[in-house]
Amino acid sequence: MDDIYAIIPVSKFKNAKTRLSPFLSEEERENLLKAMLHDVTDTLKKHVDRIFIISRDEDVLDYAKKLNLDTILEDENSNLNKALKQAMKYCKGKAKKVIIVPSDVPLIGKTNVQMLIDASKSLDFIIVPSKGGGTNMIIMKPMAIHTRFEGFSYEEHLQAAERKKLNPQVHDSFFMALDVNTAQDLGEIMIHGKKTHTRKYLKELKVNVEPFRGSERLKVTRG
């Protein structure tokens, strides 16, 4: 059993990415999340055996099926970490490793995912940090640790892996660290996201980016 399955938890499309309001409308934010999920899954399809989207949102599950992905209906009264536990339980005994990735890392294709998967064959635990102390990828055996997403999860995941003596390996990637939450993040996608669905959609919205010498590095506007 050498299969590797991807698990992507997705919350409701509605009210997604509220920190991008009022730069993007609710409908635009929903379509942005769809574009980012499309980029994430397009990349993973090249490297994993199956991709599971777990969600309580029927709109999310319907969209996943349109992308020819496997779906898991998240249990009621759940949360992000309970949902991941549910998905990993399903994968246990079927896959040797799981790769857990959020839905909002559209530059994942710029990262050498195959290298990480190849490395995971001899490593117990690989983790990719995100900006702000979070986690944007874990590769491990199903249920190797209980995940602790939300907040400063990177250090918590490292410590959990160390307690289990999994010898965690860190892969620091600018592209994988970029989960999209702010207009500045959209600017990074415009700069680095050539050939992604996300950048194509942002161009349709007439999002522009230019260098800026103020408190932020980028000036992100709409035409």
CATH number of the domain residue 147 falls in = 3.90.550.10
- Looking at residue 205, what is its pLDDT? 98
- Looking at residue 215, what is its pLDDT? 75
Measured distance CA(72)–CA(116) in Å, rounded: 25
Measured distance CA(63)–CA(16) in Å, rounded: 15
The answer to whether the CB of 109 falls within 8 A of the CB of 176 is no
Q: Which two tokens stand for residue 19?
A: 């920190």
Domain count, the chain: 1
Sequential pLDDT tens for the chain (223 residues): 469 999 999 999 987 899 999 999 999 999 999 999 999 999 999 999 999 999 999 999 999 999 999 999 999 999 999 999 999 999 999 999 999 999 999 999 999 999 999 999 999 999 999 999 999 999 999 999 999 998 899 999 999 999 999 999 999 999 999 999 999 999 999 999 999 999 999 999 999 999 988 778 899 999 8
Does residue 203 belong to any structural domain of this protein? no
Does residue 32 belong to any structural domain of this protein? yes
Does residue 196 belong to any structural domain of this protein? no
- Looking at residue 58, what is its pLDDT? 96
Helix axes 26-45, 197-204, angle to 10 degrees: 160
Residue 221's H or E segment, with its range, is strand 218-222
- Looking at residue 213, what is its pLDDT? 80
Structural domain span for residue 155: 4-181
- Looking at residue 2, what is its pLDDT? 62
- Looking at residue 167, what is its pLDDT? 96
Does residue 36 belong to any structural domain of this protein? yes
What global pTM score does this model have? 0.95
Look at residues 186, 188, 175, 191 and name the one whose alpha carbon lies nearest to residue 129.
175
Does residue 222 belong to any structural domain of this protein? no
Is residue 185 helix, strand or coil? Answer: helix
